[in-house]
Amino acid sequence: MKAIAIHRNGGPEVLEPIEIELPPPGPAQVRVRHTAIGLNFSDINVRNGGFYLGNGPKFPVILGNEAAGVVESVGAEVQGFRPGDRVAYAGTGGLFFHDTGAYAEQRNLPAACLVKLPSDISDQQAAAMMLKGLTASVVIHRCYRPKPGDVVLIHAAASGVGSLLAQWCQHLGATVIGTVGSPAKAAFAQAHGCRHTILYRQDDFVAAVKRVALEGVAAVFDGVGKDTFLPSFDCVRPFAAVVNYGNASGNVPPFNLMLLAQKGCLALHRPGFGFHAATPETRAEACGELFQLVRSGAMKVEVSRTYPLRDAALAHAEAEQGRSTGSVLLIP
């Protein structure tokens, strides 16, 4: 079967097609034929080698943490899944940068990481929302759950995670201010949860936030990192939550813990989706909530572009330049 692998860390050009023979699934495994594969910014970080400080992977590495598909066969000990079932997954139970392999036509996976898809959620919706939605879920359930009337700031609000988070916050009754990289992204963000948008590459976002929320916002949700992390502390009210869930612009700089006291007794969170809803039961519950948000119309999952799996390098190049809105999929 065909897959896309890297043999070293580097730019999009290190993504290469490979042909491998997949063994039968192990006793607790399920073989899944992928129909849609989610592209996540973390795939770019893994490709670049950003997560492997001092302890690199064994190449070749097949990238990818998220996909939907159809069960082809099951191992002897597997219960609850059978050939033909529609399933999806986001991560396989280990650290996401140690445990990749979704950029492939098929994959053997632990049955415990799979979620059965309801008939009203398409494969493409599932692959576009599982990992990003579970990231929004860890932010909202474990870090800060906006209350009606709260004003919250979401950086890169037109991104995959940002656009789900913005809609969820709006659904909970918050007023969402979103930063975005272009006017087109502003329009997208306004159609996906944001009441206000700020072009943060050209305008001073701290001043713009203060014009909307004089006292400061109740929470900042930041997947951008380096470029937005420190100025975000000037956007909040006392006892606010600052949540850094990603580093699209680079790692956040070292900072002094006293800043949290000086800026108003703030809470700082650095969540990861993999530690949230980590058992089959809690994962099914968290995904069930996401599916219900989509079903009810509270959350729209937008696939801005699909690429054939063989064009993964092009998809990476465009996502890395920040050209995407919503979710991007690779189709085997």
Ligand X SMILES: NC(=O)c1ccc[n+]([C@@H]2O[C@H](COP(=O)([O-])OP(=O)(O)OC[C@H]3O[C@@H](n4cnc5c(N)ncnc54)[C@H](OP(=O)(O)O)[C@@H]3O)[C@@H](O)[C@H]2O)c1
Q: How far is the CB of 264 from ligand X (least distance, A)?
A: 24
Q: Does 40 bind ligand X (CB under 6 A)?
A: yes
CB nearer to ligand X: give 29 or 190: 190
Q: Residue 10: left (phi > 0), alpha (psi -120 to 50), or beta?
A: left
Site string for ligand X, 212-251 (x = CB under 6 A): -----------xx--x-----------------xxxxx--
Closest approach of Cβ 204 to ligand X, in Å?
A: 15
Q: Which region among 39-47, 203-211, 293-301, 309-317 touches ligand X (by CB under 6 A)?
A: 39-47
Q: Tell which one of 181, 193, 216, 332 touches ligand X (CB under 6 A).
A: 181
Contact 155, 200 (CB under 8 A): yes
> Where in 108-127 is the site for ligand X (CB under 6 A)?
none
> How far apart (Å, rounded) are the C-alpha atoms in residues 298 and 284?
19
Residue 34, φ and ψ in degrees, nearest 5? -70, 140
Residue choice 110, 271, 312, 313 for contact with ligand X (CB under 6 A): 271
Binding map of ligand X across residues 272-301, x = CB under 6 A, - = no contact: xx----------------------------
Closest distance between ligand X and the C-beta of residue 231, in Å?
13
Give the one residue of 35, 92, 100, 135 binding ligand X; rule: CB under 6 A: 135
- The CA distance from 133 to 33, in Å, is 22
Query: Minimum Å distance from CB 20 to ligand X?
Result: 26
Give, in degrees to the nearest 5, the angle at Cα 174 between 171 and 176. Answer: 100
Q: Which of 138, 157, 325 is nearest to 228 (CA)?
A: 157
What the block records as the tokens of 126 is 């599932």
Which secondary structure element, helix H or strand E, spans residue 16, and what is its range?
Answer: strand 15-19
Site string for ligand X, 45-74 (x = CB under 6 A): x-----------------------------
Q: Which stretch binds ligand X (CB under 6 A): 21-29, 145-153, 271-279, 290-298?
A: 271-279
Q: What does each C-alpha distance from 167 to 147, 192, 290 come to in angstroms?
A: 14, 6, 12
CB–CB of 71/82 below 8 Å?
yes
The verdict on 329 binding ligand X (CB under 6 A) reads no
Query: With binding defined as CB under 6 A, does residue 97 bind ligand X?
Result: no
Integer CA distances (angstroms), 101 to 117, 184, 262, 327, in order? 20, 33, 44, 19
Q: Fill in the per-residue mask, 139 to 178: x = in contact with ligand X (CB under 6 A), - = not in contact.
A: -----------------x-xxxxx----------------
CB 114 within 8 A of CB 32: yes
Contact with ligand X (CB under 6 A) among 29, 42, 106, 170: 42
| b/e per residue 311-323 (b: at least 16 CB within 10 A) | bbbebbbbbbebe
Using CB positions, name the residue nearest to ligand X. Answer: 181
d(CA 33, CA 87): 10
State in angstroms the smallest separation of the CB of 1 from ligand X. Answer: 26
- Polymer length of the chain: 332
Contact residues for ligand X (CB under 6 A)? Answer: 40-42, 45, 131-132, 135, 156, 158-162, 180-181, 185, 223-224, 227, 245-249, 271-273, 319, 322, 324
